[in-house]
Amino acid sequence: MDEIIGGVLGVIAIQTGRVVVWLVSFGKWRGEPLFGDEGRIYGAAGALSFVRDGRRVITDTGLLFVGVVFYVVFVALIITVVATV
């Protein structure tokens, strides 16, 4: 059961990272397909992003990192706002 919950939270964080990357880059960068292996083929081992056809592609690991950072900052902002009220 823990693996299922962890997998679902991972997918949510990856999709959040995909949206954040798209918004921050104004659509110039894109995320790797969810279950694609494009990063393994075109990127270096352990890379968070790579360039393909002149466009920056963020790997699943990079999207997960961005998604987790987004939620950490989001929770910190909520705690700060609640503490000031």
Number of domains in the chain: 1
Helix (H), strand (E), coil (C) string for 55-76: EEEECHHHHHHHHHHHHHHHHH
Q: Please state the rounded mean pLDDT for residues 33-44.
A: 78
More confident residue, 62 or 38: 62
Residue 71 in contact with residue 13, Cβ under 8 Å?
yes
**pLDDT tens figures, 49-69:** 888 888 899 888 889 999 999
More confident residue, 74 or 54: 74
Give the domain extent around 31.
Answer: 2-84
What pLDDT is attached to residue 2? 84
Instruction: Provide the residue count of the chain.
Output: 85
What pLDDT is attached to residue 67? 94
* pLDDT > 90 fraction of the chain, expressed in percent and rounded: 47
**Measured distance CA(67)–CA(65) in Å, rounded:** 5
